[in-house]
Amino acid sequence: MKKLAKLAMIGVGNMSGAVLTRLLESPAAPDEPVRVTTRSEASAARYEHNSRVRAQALESNPAANREACRDASVVLLGVKPQQLPDLLAELSDRIAPGTVVISVAAGVETRAIESRLAGGVRVVRAMPNTPATVGLGVTGIAGGASADAEALEITRTLFAAVGEVVEVPESQIPAIGAISGSGPGHVFLLVEQMIDAAMHYGFDRETATRMVVQTFEGSIALLRNEPETEVATHRRRVMSPKGTTEQSIAVLQDANLTELFAAAFAANVRRSNELAEQLR
């Protein structure tokens, strides 16, 4: 695996902090310390005993972002979407042409980033999800008009440290956000529903949680064990004719689950497009 060179990470909170932690354990980790910036001293202090990270907080050094980007060949922007326009204004004359700039900000299109940076900067967008923290993430990546194959390869290498990477055209990033970005939220909702059902039948929360979490984990393991078998086939194996599962599945399907999911994802994608509109 190719190593990443001269990496700067501007903002390392929940999302890009997870990427950094895993990246440092991966063979793709850069030889030079990763330059990291945060707003507060408290957040930068998490890295003070890590010799492979050079962390600085804006609180004590207002030039920290500009210093971190000097000579960087890859800059990962990990701030909140609303913070991105000011950050790009601050860094526009500091990020040199040729640099690969990767943004994880939901709803900010590559052309909005490209228009605020020097020509020749290669911009890629990434949509990771929180299971990245445990190395089981899914990251959708899309290059802007400025990105070449090398920029996408560098981005792929970076996010491969935290799980699967799926390359898509940028028009599909909102859909990636709905399916895998927001996905953990939807899975947790299903888990909550099943825990509540178990508690309704008298199980205490701890036992109910253990049962449901293991059921999810076991079901996913069955899918992984036979990847060539369709998910619906796995489902039908649990549904003996006139059996119990058939009854509960019928109730769920009668509630137009397919349309309900379609409407839920459409609402998600719509919000993503609204955010993109605001941050264009």
Ligand X SMILES: NC(=O)c1ccc[n+]([C@@H]2O[C@H](COP(=O)([O-])OP(=O)(O)OC[C@H]3O[C@@H](n4cnc5c(N)ncnc54)[C@H](OP(=O)(O)O)[C@@H]3O)[C@@H](O)[C@H]2O)c1
Q: Counting contacts by CB under 6 A, is residue 110 touching ligand X?
A: no
Q: Counting contacts by CB under 6 A, is residue 83 touching ligand X?
A: yes
Q: Counting contacts by CB under 6 A, is residue 69 touching ligand X?
A: no
> Which residues inside 173-232 make contact with ligand X, applying CB under 6 A?
181
Number of residues that this document lists for the chain: 280
> Which residues inside 42-61 make contact with ligand X, applying CB under 6 A?
43, 58
Stretch of residues binding ligand X (CB under 6 A), selected from 4-12, 163-171, 186-194, 206-214: 4-12
Pick from 3, 80, 205, 270 the residue near ligand X by CB under 6 A: 80
In the complex, the smallest distance separating the C-beta of residue 40 from ligand X, rounded to whole angstroms, is 3
Q: Counting contacts by CB under 6 A, is residue 11 touching ligand X?
A: yes
Pick from 15, 34, 95, 176 the residue near ligand X by CB under 6 A: 15
CB atoms within 10 A of CB 81: 16
Please, what's the b/e burial string for 107-144 (b: 16 or more CB within 10 A of its CB; e: otherwise)? bbbbebbbebbeeebbbbbbbbbebbbeeebbbbbbbb
Q: Counting contacts by CB under 6 A, is residue 128 touching ligand X?
A: yes
Q: Counting contacts by CB under 6 A, is residue 140 touching ligand X?
A: no
Q: Counting contacts by CB under 6 A, is residue 39 touching ligand X?
A: yes
Q: How far, in Å, CA of 237 to CA of 241, rounded?
A: 10
Phi (first) and psi of residue 139, to 5 degrees = -120, 120
Among residues 45, 38, 41, 31, the alpha carbon closest in space to that of 14 is found at 38
Q: Counting contacts by CB under 6 A, is residue 106 touching ligand X?
A: yes
Q: Counting contacts by CB under 6 A, is residue 81 touching ligand X?
A: yes
Q: How far, in Å, CA of 239 to CA of 8, rounded?
A: 52
Q: Counting contacts by CB under 6 A, is residue 79 touching ligand X?
A: yes
Stretch of residues binding ligand X (CB under 6 A), selected from 6-14, 22-30, 163-171, 213-221: 6-14
The footprint of ligand X on this chain (CB under 6 A) covers a number of residues equal to: 27
Contacts of 275 by beta carbon, 8 Å cutoff, 6+ apart: 81, 106, 107, 108
Q: How far, in Å, CA of 145 to CA of 155, rounded?
A: 15
Task: Give Cα 193 to chain centroid, integer Å.
Answer: 25
Q: Counting contacts by CB under 6 A, is residue 137 touching ligand X?
A: no
In the complex, the smallest distance separating the C-beta of residue 93 from ligand X, rounded to whole angstroms, is 16
Q: How far, in Å, CA of 264 to CA of 241, rounded?
A: 31
In the complex, the smallest distance separating the C-beta of residue 268 from ligand X, rounded to whole angstroms, is 12
Residues binding ligand X (CB under 6 A)? 10-15, 37-40, 43, 58, 65, 78-81, 83, 87, 104-106, 127-130, 181
